Amino acid sequence: MNLFEFFGVMLAILGAILCGAWGYQQFGWAGLAGGVLIGLVIGRIAGVAVSTLVFLILIWPERLRQRRVLSRFFGRYWSRKRLTEWQDLATRLAVGDSVSGKVVAGYYYGVFVDTGHGFPALLAIRFMGSNGEGPRPVVGDVLSATIIRLDESDRFIKLSQLAPRVNPAI
């Protein structure tokens, strides 16, 4: 469940409770049913509106700052003009491939690495070799990692330094 769905569901429930209570007070059981339906619709609309505002106020500026920093190293990696370049890279790279590169930017959630492929590679804290406990890589460090995912939506190469988990049930 993403942020939009969460706020939509929460406000839909709140709207159903409030409108249902008002409808019951005004019109009895028929008012309760109508109030719940109206509350669900109004609450769902309000939930999407609230989550959109939260996204625009809190998340979007951080994303713009991130793109500004990363564009110094990777250009406009998110543009439509580089879509075919990303698709070509996605066919050449595979999950499990080892890569190495230099850390070019650090954030509270991880570091971005220039692996020489022309697109940012994200090593999230939870996938760092020290499992986020030890010293974190800083800008300028050279590190090795394994590709765990090629993120189409952000055009990031997602990395991990942790050993792959072995499933004993297989």
Are 112 and 144 found together in one domain?
yes
> What is the per-residue burial (b if ≥16 Cβ within 10 Å, else e) of 103-123?
bbbbeeebbbbbbebebbbbb
Whether 3 contacts 55, CB under 8 Å: yes
* 168 — pLDDT class (breaks 50, 70, 90): low
* 83 — pLDDT class (breaks 50, 70, 90): very high
Return the closest-CA partner of residue 42 out of 18, 13, 4, 12. 12
Q: What is the pLDDT of residues 59-69, one digit of tens each?
A: 888 889 999 99
Whether 27 contacts 38, CB under 8 Å: no
Percent of the chain with pLDDT strictly greater than 90: 55
Give the CATH number for residue 96: 2.40.50.140
Q: What is the pLDDT of residues 103-137, one digit of tens each?
A: 999 988 899 999 999 999 999 888 887 655 667 88
Structural domain containing residue 86? 79-160
End-of-domain residue from the set 71, 92, 110: 71
Q: What is the DSSP letter of 117?
A: S
Are 96 and 139 found together in one domain?
yes
Residue 170 forms part of a structural domain: no
Residue 62 forms part of a structural domain: yes
The encoded tokens of residue 35 equal 């109030």
pTM above 0.85, yes or no: no
Are 109 and 151 found together in one domain?
yes
Amino acid 136: pLDDT:
83
